Amino acid sequence: MTSLFSRLDAPGDDVVLRVGDERVTSRQLAHATTALTARLAAEGVVPGAHVAVWTQNSLETLVSLVAGVAAGFVIVPLDPKLGPLELNHIVKDAAPAIALAAAPAAIEGRIAVRTLAATAELRQAPTLPARTRQIDDAPMLVLYTSGTTGLPKGAVLTARNVAFDLDALALAWRWSREDTVVHALPMFHVHGLVLGLYGSLRVGGALHWFPRFVPKEISDALGQGTTVLFAVPTMYHRLTEAVESDPSLVAGLRHARLLVSGSAALPQRDQLRLEALTGRRVIERYGLTETLINCAVRLDAPPSPGSVGPAVEGVELKLVDDQRRTIDARDDATLGEIAVRGPHVFAGYLNRPDATAAVKDADGWFFTGDLACMRPDGSVRIVGRRATDLIKTGGYKVGAGEVEAALLEHPAVREAAVLGAPDADLGERIVAFVVLSKPAEPKALEDFVASQLSPHKRPREVHVIAELPRNAMGKVVKSKLR
């Protein structure tokens, strides 16, 4: 067996993590792993237990996320802006033994919280050698992800899922110890956590994390030796606008070895604008929480606009029709649902065998719900989604049903229908149509959703209408609302 975080195999004085002016070496991370193991063991929390990490904007968050996995706990990273509706559900569903936080957290009172005073603990010499996480099929992470209806589901990922996928990406992008990744993504989803953080400790050299996205900070980091940028399309859109109004930002972007976009479709318009300004092409990769990254444009591939690349090394990918029969066409025109198989496909949803069986068949194929065409060279062009009730806004997946349910909790809302409308910045913006039983201001309804759920799930537009359009069966016809 080999270890998951190769970067911690021979701990030394090399900096592996950076947040603001604070830096952590591989030796300090190994110390933190030992300290965390001992500390939680003293409380009866042993490897294999679910440990939540409240992902606040601080270095302690990164240390907890790495040390927790290295020590063998099953880490449940949580958005510190989760609303009470989501939090109640997740605490019950994942039942974490304990939560780690950098500072007082809203989760306090629901489960025991321990603060990891990283900077103090890191300096203490360990009394025991650090544990290292081996690559096996045991659960390593539970990541909550929205579905069309109901509350978020916990996707269980193993160390093998993660190691396999990161190694495939290293091959596609020649990602190596020479690289430092910079990103400003949240640490409770695959993109920022698995690719950015765990990737930098397995196949890369270091991570420089900005808890907030500020174009100038990203550009400066790239100008000062950081080589790779991971970002969602909204961030590339905002970087482009920033470069247009402040051409000095171009210098940093020109230095980058690799600019990667994912989590949602990168509009070609933004791609071309950025290329014209910087001379650098942004490459796309495609994935899901449940499968990690399935496709990636290779570093040496010729330009192929609109493509998310072919399946990464070791991943089987096919297009299927409505009956899940294989569609054998590479004509860039025939549409099918993407299905994937390989060691990267998750173990299943926590406590939800029904939901797992709906997406993963007995032969190991995972059905993504994404619609695409395949080109003659095997590269994939994503065209849409089967479920119109899934919205991708700023790279976050939001189920329309979850927002509708939150709106219906408001005493003035009698009926609600939510959909995603095209948006140049966010990709899609959440739009709500409501029928009221008593007067209420649209802004108050937006704020109400933001107070019940994570604020990124709030509708950016609320329209009050007299009645929702329905078909003969009484079902809301959302296409009429568009």
The residues binding ligand MCA (CB under 6 A) are: 81, 185-186, 189-192, 213, 232, 234-235, 262-263, 287-289, 394-396, 446-447, 450, 455-456, 458
279 by Cβ neighbours in 10 Å (0-12 / 13-18 / 19+) ranks as: exposed
Stretch that binds ligand AMP, among 115-123, 195-203, 283-291, 441-449 (CB under 6 A): 283-291
Residue whose C-alpha is closest to residue 36's, from 130, 110, 141, 134: 130
Give all strands (DSSP E) within 333-424, no chain letters. Answer: 336-341, 348-349, 366-374, 380-385, 390-393, 396-399, 413-423
263 lies in the binding site for ligand AMP (CB under 6 A): yes
165 lies in the binding site for ligand AMP (CB under 6 A): no
- Spell out the residues 6+ positions from residue 475 whose beta carbon is closer than 8 angstroms to its own: none
Q: Are 403 and 389 in contact (CB under 8 A)?
A: no
Shortest Cβ 100–ligand MCA spacing (Å): 21
Residue 192 touches which member of ligand MCA, ligand AMP, none, C-beta under 5-8 Å by kind: ligand MCA
* C-alpha count within 13 angstroms, C-beta hemisphere, residue 461: 15
Q: In terms of CB distance, is 96 or 186 closer to ligand MCA?
A: 186
Shortest Cβ 286–ligand AMP spacing (Å): 4
For residue 140 the two structure tokens come to 């390593």
Residue type, 428: E
End-to-end Cα spacing for the chain: 53
- Residue 48: left if φ>0, alpha if ψ -120 to 50, beta else—which one? left
Shortest Cβ 154–ligand AMP spacing (Å): 12
Angle between helices 59-70 and 26-41 (to 10 degrees): 70
262 lies in the binding site for ligand AMP (CB under 6 A): yes
Backbone angles phi, psi at 476, to 5 degrees: -65, 130
Q: In terms of CB distance, is 102 or 282 closer to ligand AMP?
A: 282
Residue 185 touches which member of ligand MCA, ligand AMP, none, C-beta under 5-8 Å by kind: ligand MCA
200 lies in the binding site for ligand AMP (CB under 6 A): no
Q: Are 35 and 63 in contact (CB under 8 A)?
A: no
Residue whose C-alpha is closest to residue 401's, from 391, 411, 392: 391
Residue whose C-alpha is closest to residue 268's, from 233, 219, 221: 233
Stretch that binds ligand AMP, among 4-12, 93-101, 259-267, 356-364 (CB under 6 A): 259-267
Stretch that binds ligand AMP, among 25-33, 249-257, 279-287, 409-417 (CB under 6 A): 279-287
Q: Which of helix, strand or coil describes residue 271?
A: helix
397 lies in the binding site for ligand AMP (CB under 6 A): yes
Stretch that binds ligand AMP, among 34-42, 67-75, 81-89, 280-288 (CB under 6 A): 280-288
Q: In terms of CB distance, is 48 or 422 closer to ligand AMP?
A: 422
Contact letters (x/-) for ligand AMP, 96-135, by CB under 6 A? ----------------------------------------
Contact letters (x/-) for ligand AMP, 402-441, by CB under 6 A? ----------------------------------------
Q: CB nearest ligand MCA: which residue? A: 394
Instruction: By CB under 6 A, name the one of 25, 115, 119, 145 that touches ligand AMP.
Output: 145
The one-character DSSP state at 134 is B
Shortest Cβ 341–ligand AMP spacing (Å): 16
Instruction: By CB under 6 A, name the one of 93, 337, 370, 446 that touches ligand AMP.
Output: 370
* Rg over CA atoms, the chain: 22
Residue 370 touches which member of ligand AMP, ligand MCA, none, C-beta under 5-8 Å by kind: ligand AMP
288 lies in the binding site for ligand AMP (CB under 6 A): yes
Bridge partner residues of 441 (DSSP):
none
Determine the longest span between alpha carbons in the chain, in angstroms.
71
Q: Which of helix, strand or coil describes residue 139?
A: strand
Residue whose C-alpha is closest to residue 143's, from 312, 346, 298, 430: 346
Residue 283 touches which member of ligand MCA, ligand AMP, none, C-beta under 5-8 Å by kind: none
Q: In terms of CB distance, is 198 or 396 closer to ligand MCA?
A: 396
Q: In terms of CB distance, is 71 or 151 closer to ligand MCA?
A: 151
Q: In terms of CB distance, is 28 or 271 closer to ligand AMP?
A: 271
For residue 17 the two structure tokens come to 């993590």
Residue 23 to residue 20: CA distance in whole angstroms: 8
For residue 353 the two structure tokens come to 């065998």
368 lies in the binding site for ligand AMP (CB under 6 A): yes
Site residues, ligand AMP (CB under 6 A): 145, 190, 262-265, 284, 286-289, 308, 368, 370, 382, 385, 392, 397
